[in-house]
Amino acid sequence: MNPNDLITPVILSGGSGTRLWPVSTSERPKQFLNLTGPMSMFQMTLERCQEASLFDLPIIVGGEKHAALAEEQMDEIGAKVQAHILEPCARNTAPAIALAALACKYPQSLLLVMPSDHIIKNIPAFQDAVRQSVSLAKARWLVTFGIEPHGAETGYGYIQQGDPVFGSAGSFSAQRFVEKPNQSNAEKMLAEGGYYWNAGIFLFRADTYLEALAEHAPEMLQATKKAMEKASRDEAQIKPDTTSFANAPSDSIDYAIMEKAEKVAVTPVDPGWSDVGSWDSLFEISLSDDDSNVISGDVIAVESKNNLIHSDGLEITTFGVENLIIIAAGNRIMVLPKGQSQHVRKIVTARNKTP
């Protein structure tokens, strides 16, 4: 690849994170937490796009509120970026990606869009899928990466594959996007085959994306263009104009573009992916002890089995308990049965209502 052909990673780090409460908070959402090792998920996302023969410097798109935290974590691992775009307000993924497309070096630049709060264990498999999809993206396809499903999950959206794309090595047209299904429909899709988990990872040319916005979401394109035209800049930091960006319709890339555009492809991949969307999913991807407990922090589990116990500061000791999630952070403690962590948002809502 010559320098102009290098892929520009676009790392979306604007999530506010309530599903991993009480550790994840609006001040320090989950992408900035060290939940699976010595680095945060944001830092691990930066690390997985350091292959100099494949990637240009990344563009970060995140909330202005977390700018200092993001840059502190970039400095910790020595990560350089070509731009750090600070969203003045949250408008979902489609406008955020538009800001990056407008900020990149060349209109034909390939953008690899990735959330900053996912885990990918098999980096070579992921990078191979990206390489496999480059020719499609150059040919103006909007490529999404479908994760080979490992079960009938109801917490993810799905992508149904269509016909193979001519000239590609294992990519398919995306026949349809499926909302998060109920258990019965998830099991049917898994049995039928040809469905993949929607990881929210994309590869396309910047100008292809902007042209799709012009066709399917022109108000969004107009608002983000104005926001970037009026943006203030300080070295790598870019602050889009607040009023203009707030006028952009708030919509995800799936709703705004991927479900409507014609040339949409899916590349299947199985890279050990998790969106770490709940305490249960963290349990599933973490190493456990001989009693199937996943433990972090100052914890002693006696005759206890199959628990997730996480402590930030407090001493936690259990005896004879099974199948629990026990989380301590500061002066907050949460206990709930394993398999029920999708209800954490209800807990947060109830806490917020408490006088």
Residue 26 has what pLDDT?
85
Tokens 């919509």 correspond to 251
Burial 32-61 (b: 16+ CB within 10 A, else e): bbebbeebbbbbbbbebbbeeebbbbbbbb
| Distance in angstroms (rounded) separating the CA atoms of residues 188 and 270 | 20
Determine how β-strand 83-87 pairs with β-strand 237-239. parallel
pLDDT in tens, the chain (355 residues): 445 689 999 999 987 767 899 999 888 999 999 988 889 999 999 999 988 999 999 999 999 999 999 999 999 999 999 999 999 999 999 999 999 999 998 999 999 999 999 999 999 999 999 999 999 999 999 999 999 998 888 888 999 999 999 877 889 999 999 998 999 999 999 999 999 999 999 999 999 999 999 999 999 999 999 999 999 999 999 999 999 999 999 999 999 999 999 999 999 999 999 989 899 999 999 999 999 999 999 999 999 999 999 998 899 999 999 999 999 998 999 999 999 998 898 898 888 876 6
DSSP characters for 190-202?
A: HHH--EEEEEEEE
| C-alpha triplet 230, 232, 235: angle, nearest 5° | 140
Tokens for 332? 């907050």
Structure tokens at 152: 């009938």
SS3 of 182, please? coil
Residue 7 per-residue DSSP state: B
What is the amino acid identity at position 44? M
How many Cβ atoms from other residues are within 10 Å of residue 78's Cβ? Answer: 8
Predicted local distance difference test score (pLDDT) of residue 7: 97
Tell the burial category of 163 from Cβ atoms under 10 Å away from its Cβ (0-12, 13-18, 19+): exposed
Output DSSP code: residue 21.
T
pTM above 0.75, yes or no: yes
In order, the DSSP letters of 55-69 are B---EEEEEGGGHHH
Q: Which residues pair with 232 in a beta bridge?
A: 239
* pLDDT, position 355: 62
Fill in the DSSP letter of residue 355. Answer: -
DSSP state of 302: E
- At residue 1, the pLDDT reads 44
